[in-house]
Structure 1
Amino acid sequence: MFSYKTLFASTLAAVLALAAAAPAKPSPDVPATIEIGSGNCPTGGVTVPVVSDACINLIGGLSFLDKEISGAIVPGGFVCTFFQDFGCIATGTGNAPTNSEVVLVGGTWHMSNVPGLSGPINFNDLTSSISCSPV
């Protein structure tokens, strides 16, 4: 004769097996990070959390990277703008010169050859602030 305990135990085992096999979804509360460094990333870089559309000035604990960034890793699905001036000041605003920022999408970048507003440029050791957002 069939037992309800056996049915319950079998059903519970099947549910637990499916739950263990299901991939975990990333939490939407986990902040995105970029890696920036004075050498070639991914080695020797610093991981910096980013908040969408917030300006990250390279001051305080990040001041050692001001005008020293040579490489960056931008996560997939994000776009980050690297600015020459503090305050994420873009070309054509304030006293910002032409080509005072570069816009980088997900990937590993060497700042000596990145896409500028008017073609590839050398943005090595020029960054003072960064702003990132989802694509």
Structure 2
Amino acid sequence: MFNSKALLTSTLAVVLVSFAAALASIAAATPVGPVTETPVTVTVCSGGVGVGCAGVPTVSDTCINLTGGLSFLNKEISTALVPGGMICTFFQDFGCTASGVVNAGTDSQVFLGQGTWNLAKAPGLSGITNFNDLTSSFTCSPI
């Protein structure tokens, strides 16, 4: 005859084993630690391309203050090379904050997409502006 208790026990065992296997596959796909973003290098130069340049690793939406080992670039950047897929905002002030229009009509921030930029002719909020030797901080993000 048919034993309902044995059938229920074996069915329950199969369901539990399947459930445990599903949980194990979910746990294997879940990152164990924090996910880190690979830095993208933005090259900034105190002169033209190749003159006084430094490659600065940037992570999305992280403010880079030109202090410490980068202090030689504070208020000295003339050229920036922004990699593809990125947009960078360069600021006159530390902390990646904009203070409005200062310095006889020059915007306090400029926005640079992919390419090589002469900061003497950079796109600001009011149009093309001379941002040469004005940068104290910058931030970049993927487009």
Cα RMSD (Å): 1.7
State the number of aligned residues: 105
CA distance in 2, matches of 1:130, 1:59: 12
CA distance in 2, matches of 1:63, 1:48: 12
CA distance in 1, matches of 2:60, 2:39: 9
Structure 1 unaligned runs (5+)?
1-27
Could you tell which deviates more after superposition, 56-65 or 34-43? 34-43
CA distance in 2, matches of 1:107, 1:81: 13
SS in 1 for 2:107: coil
Say which structure is richer in helix: 2
Report runs of 4+ in structure 1 exceeding 3 Å deviation: none
CA distance in 1, matches of 2:89, 2:95: 12
CA-CA distance at 1:99 after TM superposition: 1.2
* Aligned with 1:82 (options 51, 65, 90): 90
CA-CA distance at 1:30 after TM superposition: 3.4
Task: Provide TM-score, normalisation by structure 2.
Answer: 0.68
1:45-124 matches, within 5 Å, as 45-92=53-100, 97=102, 99-124=107-132
SS in 1 for 2:71: helix
For the pair shown, which has the larger CA radius of gyration, 1 or 2?
A: 2
Report the identity percentage: 60
Match of 1:6 in 2: none
SS in 1 for 2:120: coil
CA-CA distance at 1:42 after TM superposition: 4.2
What does the per-residue CA deviation read over 1:64-109, in whole Å, with 9 as the maximum and x for residues that have no partner?
A: 00000000000010000000000001245xxx74610001001000
Structure 2 unaligned runs (5+)?
1-35
Task: Provide TM-score, normalisation by structure 1.
Answer: 0.72
